[in-house]
Amino acid sequence: MPTPYQIFTDSSCDLPQQLADELELEVLPLHVTLDGQTYRNYLDGREIGFHDFFERLRTGSTGSTSAVNVEEFSAAMEPRLQSGTDILFLGFSSGLSATFQSGLIAAQELQPRYPERKIICIDTLCASLGQGLLVYLAAKKRLEGCSIDEVADFVRETIPHLCHWFTVRDLMFLKRGGRVDAATAIVGTMLQIKPVMHMDNAGTLKPVTKARGRRASLRALAEKLAATAIDPASQTVFICHGDCLDDAEYTAEQIRSLTPVHDIIINYVGPVIGAHTGPGVISVFFVGTER
């Protein structure tokens, strides 16, 4: 019989908890600090609810985030290795977080103690439900019976095609994170100019174009998908939102009006990503011809 293996990821993937459970994933939480208190960012929001988190940002709180550390990875991985299970770790983009590096260090420290086990670590170069979509596709392959090496190869081949497109309501959150300069944020806010951004091949966030007004920026996301999605009718598209479900549903409507996509999963963006994008972020994730 093939050796069993476990897929590990981290909570930056922003998957719905129920879906992560169905896919039999092991998800380690990153941390968010808000008003001096640190919370673990579990997918089910057990330590800090998603709506509550964004409400506190709206009233002036600022959040900071921290990676899963090496010790947390080691504590989660070692019992699996002891039980004879191999590990495939798909981590948050190294362009945005130290989480992948922590998991890699833990794996490198554990490997000599379990030389008969495979520990494969892949930097997804993805974030939020883009990471979630990649993990979802990998887990589906696992459930279909693919080996750890087959799934790892599939993930590496898919990463350059995992498209992330997003826009924000409040440019000031991007300014604080250094994604736009102060002048751009102030002028853009005054003129209702919204950036349309994506995750590039290095796993970092880049502005690509601009739209005048909120609805125009949401339509631009749908247009990006329509222009580059591979066989959209067969895809499951992921959309995440920063406590603005109506806008996420509007974006889904725009996608369906332009393409034959019918499977769309909508979920919150979690506090780790939301701390840097602010309330009102909308992101669309799919497999395309290029990022």
Output the average pLDDT for the chain.
92
- If one looks up domain 5-159 in CATH, what number appears? 3.40.50.10170
How do the domains of the chain map onto residue ranges?
5-159, 161-287
Residues 6+ away with beta carbon under 8 Å from 197? 165, 166, 167, 179, 205, 206, 207, 208
Flag residues of the chain having pLDDT under 50.
Answer: 183, 185-188
Please report the pLDDT score of residue 244 as a whole number.
Answer: 97
pLDDT in tens, 18-29: 999 999 999 999
The CATH class given to the 161-287 domain equals: alpha beta
The structure's pTM equals 0.93
Do 161-287 and 5-159 have the same topology in CATH?
Answer: no
Please report the pLDDT score of residue 183 as a whole number.
Answer: 46
